[in-house]
Each structure stands twice: as C-alpha cells, then as structure tokens.
Structure 1
Amino acid sequence: MSGTGRDSLSPAARALCDAMAAVFPGPGDPAALRAAASASRGGGAEVASVRDAVADGVPVRIYDPAPGAGGGRPLVVFFHGGGWVMCGLDTHDALCRALAVASGAVVVSADYRLAPEHPWPAAPDDALTVLLWARAGAAGLGCDPARLVVAGDSSGGNLAAVTALRAPELVAGQLLFYPPLDASMEQPSVSEFAEGYFHTAAHMAWYWDQYGGDPAHPHVSPLRAPDLAGLPRTLLVLADCDVLRDEGLAYGRRLGEAGVDCGIHLVPGVFHGFLGLPLPAAAAAIGAAGAWVAATAAK
C-alpha cells in the first residue's frame, strides 16, 4: 500500500479498485491477462455508424456519430491501452463510442500487434500505418485531414505520443490518457502508488519488459526525446493515484517549455484506467476531452 493511504481515492473509486484488483491477474501470464481484460468489456453509447475495416493490413474499427454530416470534422486515430500486451477493439469499444459522441469526430480505433509475440517496434509501426491510412482517407470519412488527432489510453497513449513524434507535420493534436512515457520508471509516483491502486509498479515493469526496445529511445520513452518543439497541441488526462502520474506531469512541463500548447487535466481521487469505469469523473473527463477534440483547428 502506498504511503498516501487509502483515502487518496474517492470512496467509489476505492470500492472499484479493490474489487478489480481482487480478480485481476498478477504480471507474468499474457493469456491470463488477456482473458481478464476481455471479460471486463461492457456496452457503450449508441453511435450512428460502427464498422470494421483494414488499414493497410492493420484491423481498425470506425465510429461515425453523424454519417453524411459533410466534410471538415475532426478525425481521431485511437490506440487502446493494455500494456502493449492485451486488449483490443472490443475492450475499448465503449470508450471509443463515448469519445466519438462527445467530440462529434470520426474515431478510427487501431488493433495493433501485441507483445510479447510482436515486440517493439511492431506496435508503433502499426500505429503509423493507421495514421497514414486514416489521413489519406479522411475526406471520404467526412473529415478534414488537417484536423487529425492521435489519441490513446495508457500504452495506447504512449503510441499516440510516439506517432506524434514521428510525424508531427501530419497531426493537429495529441490526446493522451495516463500514458507511460519513460521506461526508466524513476518518477516519484512509481513508488508512491506502487501497490494498492490496481495498476501496480510490478505490472508496469513487466509490461515494459514484454514490449522491448531501448528504454532510452524516444520512440519507446517519449519523455527522453531531446527536443519536443514543433509537436501539436496536447491534452494530457492523468489519474492522481497512478504510478504514471509524474511522468505525465513531466511531459506536460517539457512540452510547455518547448512552446507547445499543452493542457493538463489531473483528475483527483481516481486510479489508472478510470476512464472505463462507472465514475462521474470518467464521464466528465471524456466530455472535456471531446470538447477539446471538437475545438482542434486545422494544422
């Protein structure tokens, strides 16, 4: 248990955290983790059009809240979380639906290859493939390619940040939900919330090990990038009780120092993964993120 005590979480979040931790496997068995993640998926908001497609070899799911609405809308390319090891289109279906409804944007969710079977750089290469495919087809989706936002939660937030680093000229915004950004795991929040908050430091260290790559490479650890100037406007949505909190805060500070328009939404009383839970804070955070996407201007 962290030294901050159980009262760091709201009562509702604490109840959910403890219930989830009681049934979620420890690190070490990808199959068990994948089974647990698949069992946790639930329903979501009604979206006018949801269809599956293939983006140059990468499976995707496309959410359109208003088909036939005409051009000019934002386009979100979304990468799911799950430690690069688990989850997929189905586990993040509800979150993508909520984001599409909240933003009015078309959301393209990418089913990138997973570790350890496909270690780095398979996932970021798939992410870039989907970005290029979505941008090329934006007009056909009723979207403005110059209003493209990359987004993701947890490890998917890492992939969104890496994609923005690799192709900043193609991205108008990056929406990062509690992303891992530094494989060194040296930030104070790693020890502060190491246990007792569902997503443990041991889980995160194991995920990094499965993912692979050089921990110092900026396409593994975006916080290690020597220069963040020229990156698109950014919104970081962070959980206050999370091992990853401080690296998100550090990335936000560095973006600001580099002249990037960066907002940080630090949500109190919640833990890693809260966006997928029945908490008022989750609905509020998704609503704010949707409004931010809707306000994304052409690059």
Structure 2
Amino acid sequence: MAVLLLMPLLGLLIFLLGLIVWSIFKHFLTTDIPSALQHPIKLRILDCIFIYVITLGNILEKLRIFSMPKFARFVQDTLFVKRMDPKVVVTDLHYGTIPVRLFQPKEMSCGSRRGIIFYHGGAAVVGSLDFYHNVCLFLALETNSVLLSVGYRKLPDHHYPAIANDCLNATIHFLRRLKTYDVDPSRVVLCGESAGGAAVAQITQALVGQKDLPQIRAQVLIYPIIQMVNFQLPSTQQHKNVPFLPLDFMMMCICKYMAIDPSWKDALITGACIPQETWKKYEKWLSSDNIPKKFKNKYKEPQFPGPFNEAAYLETKHLLDAENSPLFAEDEIIAQLPEAFLVSCEYDILRDHSLLYKKRLEDQGVSVSWYNVEDGFHGCILLFDRKHLLFSCSYKVVNAIANYIKGL
C-alpha cells in the first residue's frame, strides 16, 4: 500500500524535474543574453526560473487546477520577500474595492510632503502590491514623499479596461483627500513601470481639464508600453528574445488582457490588422523613422503593415483607441500634459516606445527628461535590493527616478 501511495509522488517529482530540464533547454535555445549585460549567469538562472514558472502555470491552467496568472503571482510573492523599515509607516487600505498601500515617512517635515501615486507593472499577469513593495518603500523614503501604490484588478478575472479604470478611480480618490495625508496638492507625481507606465500616460491624459482636482506636477514612465499597433520597431526586432519580456510572452499578455484570441498574434505582429487609411493617420507617430539612427543597429525595415486582414482588424481594432494606445491621443490633450521623465532600458523590447512618446510630447511643447540605461533590461528595477540577485542597472533606474522626483 505504501508503495502505491509513493508512486504518484514519484511521478510528480519526475515531472517537475523534467520540466526544470525542459526550461533550461528552452532558455538556451530561445533566449538571447546580450554580451553587454552584466552578470549573465545570474540572468540565465532567473530566466530559467521565469520560463519554469510560466510553463508550469500554463500546464496547471490547462488542467483546470490553477490559473497561470494567479500561480505566477503566488510564486513571485513567495520568492521575493517584502522589507519593512521603521522610518516608514505602511498601511493597507481599500478605496472601494481597489486595494492600495500607503507609505508615509515618519520623519518630521517642515511642510506638506510631496505625493507619489505608483502603478506597478506585470502586464496584468504578474505584479502585485507585495512584489513592488520594496521599490515603493525606497521611493517614499528616498524622496521623503507620501506614496500610494495601487493594486489594480488583473487576469484571469478582469480584462481591459480594468487597469486604467482602477488606477483612475484610486488616483481621483487620493487627489480628493490630499489634506488627510498632508500632501502638497501642487507636488503630486504619477509614476509607473511597464504596464504601470502605460497607466501613467492614460491617467494623466484622462485628468486633463479636470478643474475640480489638483493638477499633476509630473509623470514618470519607466519603460512603458505606449502603443499596441507597431510591433516591428527596431527594439522589438533587436531584443525580442531578451529577458524578461520576450515577444511571445508580451503578445500572450496583450491577447489575454485585451480579450483577443491568440490565433491573431501573427496578424498583430505583421500589422495585417491595420487598415491602410489608419496607418496613414498614425504613421507620423508610429514609424521607425522617429527612432534615432544609433538605435537601429541590425534593424531591417520590414514591409509594414502587412496585407490587410479585415477579420483581424475587427478582432483587434480596440487597440487603436487612445485609451489603450496613449500615443494616439489628440494634440490638444498631449499639449496640456505635465512634464515627463521617461526611463528606458537599452536591452528592452519596449525601449523604442519611450522614444516615440518622447518625440510625441516634445512636438507638442511638453518638457521631457529621458534616461536610457545602457546596460538595462526589462523589469530590472525589481532586483535593486535583492542581495545576490542585484544588478547595477537596477540601482541606476531607482536612483535616477528618486533624483528626478527630488528635483521637482
């Protein structure tokens, strides 16, 4: 009887070990680790773990045991322990149904503090208040600011426009209660990473003209996704297999969150879902011609958009809305936006999104500061205090953000 009971456990162990071996093989077959990146062995180990978790999550989801997004978030929150600091009071709250986390420095201040509203990344698949806790703690302490971290709804239970709606509602709630938190209404900064960076662009645009609310002082966008139309930019070609946002994973996240059948992935990548008249309208903002020549190493200009597929367009046309692709907002909206600080990473598939948005803002007279981390990769900000897993580029990102905010 004991042997019979051990058989399933042995089978499970063999399966998990086999999956580890498969993840390692997949990493070496598909992942590109640029030679300029520091600590390649650490990066390879982290990417193998990333592949393993996502793959196991997909298997569990197909077996209807556990959804992949919830499994991935459970693993990340288990592996990455949040840090506490006696100098900061951390409070978990709910704004309606939206969980938020408030970081308030204890140090006495001669006046009202600066306020930061932070939207985490993760493409609605990974990311959580806990996962980004240490980043928020650092920013609150380093800039002596009251920081609100927004825990918006995510997959698998919630699709677009959940992120934008939750971030907007939480932001308005916070802005209307700044006196409660002793925050200076003239010094509120919106800050977000990756999908959270997209939320920053969406929320600052949505708040334009809202005279009954304090005006946002500045927006900080950390390697944001600014458009979901042109997937043939130089950085997409150059870094489509670099951790931790390879093209396949990014397209999976977009399809899941935007409720698009994954069978349309190739049409999205080739641009076959874009009508010619639409491309003519947006080409001035989307074209790779807007990317400086020095970023086009090994870039081959594709035939874009591809042959038009009307069925693909009907399935994906909501990606063309400015609410989903902030790059497409009207000029009069862009011109009223607050000053911006854009952070990009050289070895990131989204690097060129920052460059496109930088030009879009500057063309409308918006003041823009830009910092490109030359040895950076997507998601590196999360490793800045992870001891044996830290990378110098991680410190560069958080320090650049903190210095910018302190200078406001």
Query: TM-score, length-normalised on structure 1?
Result: 0.91
The structural deviation recorded for 1:77 is 0.7
Deviation >4 Å, runs of 4+ = 1-5
* Match 1:79 to one of 103, 119, 123: 119
Secondary structure of 2:361's partner? Answer: helix
Query: Separation in 2 of the partners of 1:5 and 1:17?
Result: 8
1:22 match: 48
Superposed displacement of residue 291, structure 1? 2.2
In the alignment, the residues of structure 2 paired with residue 150 and residue 283 of structure 1 have an alpha-carbon distance, to the nearest angstrom, of: 20
| Counterpart among 373, 376, 396 of residue 267 in structure 1 | 373
Report the alpha carbon displacement of residue 4 of structure 1 after superposing the two structures with TM.
Answer: 8.4
Give the conservation status (yes or no) of the 8 Å contact 1:77–1:148: yes
Q: Which has the higher contact order (CA 8 A, sep 6+)?
A: 1
- Bigger mean CA deviation after superposition, 251-260 or 166-175: 166-175
2:37 to 1, 5, 9: 9
The structure-2 alpha-carbon separation of the partners of 1:243 and 1:264, relative to structure 1 and needing over 3 Å to count, comes to: same
Deviation at 1:5, TM superposition (A): 6.3
Q: Number of residue pairs matched? A: 294
Choose between structure 1 and 2: higher helix proportion.
Answer: 2
User: Which structure 2 residues correspond to residues 34-73 of structure 1 after superposition, within 5 A?
Assistant: 34-44=73-83, 46=85, 47-66=87-106, 69=109, 71-73=111-113
Higher strand share: 1
Taking a change above 3 Å as real, the CA distance of residues 187 and 44 of structure 1, as seen in their structure-2 partners, is farther
Instruction: Supply the distance in 2 between the matched residues of 1:54 and 1:196 (Cα, whole angstroms).
Output: 37
Matched, 1:290 2:329: no
* Distance apart, 1:45 and its partner CA: 6.3
In structure 1, the partner of 2:250 is: 204
Aligned counterparts of 2:112 and 2:345: Cα–Cα separation in 1: 32
Q: Is residue 2–residue 192 contact of structure 1 (8 Å, CA) maintained in 2?
A: no
2:135 equivalent in structure 1: 95
Q: Deviations over 1:243-276 (max 9, x none)?
A: 1001111111111111111111100112101111
* Cα gap change, 1:57 to 1:232, in 2 (>3 Å): same
- The aligned amino acid for 1:282 is S
Q: Which one has the largest radius of gyration?
A: 2
Per-residue CA deviation, residues 81-126 of structure 1 (Å, 9 max, x unaligned), is 1111222111110000111122111110011111332111111111
What is the deviation of 1:192? Answer: 1.0
Tell me how far apart the structure 2 counterparts of residues 53 and 127 of structure 1 sit (CA, whole Å): 14
Measured on the aligned residues, the alpha-carbon RMSD in Å equals 2.1
SS at match of 1:144: strand
Cα drift, residue 198 of structure 1? 2.6
Cα distance in structure 2, aligned partners of 1:4 and 1:122: 33
Separation (CA, whole Å) in 2 of partners of 1:155 and 1:203: 14
The answer (yes or no) to whether the contact 1:68–1:142 under 8 Å persists in 2 is: no
How far, CA to CA, are the matches of 2:256 and 2:111 in structure 1? 41
Matched residues in 2 for 1:127 and 1:276: separation?
21
Note the C-alpha offset of 1:281: 2.6
Q: State the shift of 1:2 in Å.
A: 9.2
Asked if residue 218 in structure 1 is aligned to residue 322 in structure 2, the reply is: yes
> What are structure 2's unaligned runs of at least 5 residues?
1-28, 59-67, 210-214, 260-317, 384-389
Report SS of the residue matched to 1:6.
coil
Percent of aligned positions that are identical: 26
Cα deviation for residue 196 of structure 1 reads: 3.3
Structure 1: stretches of 5+ with no match in the other structure: none
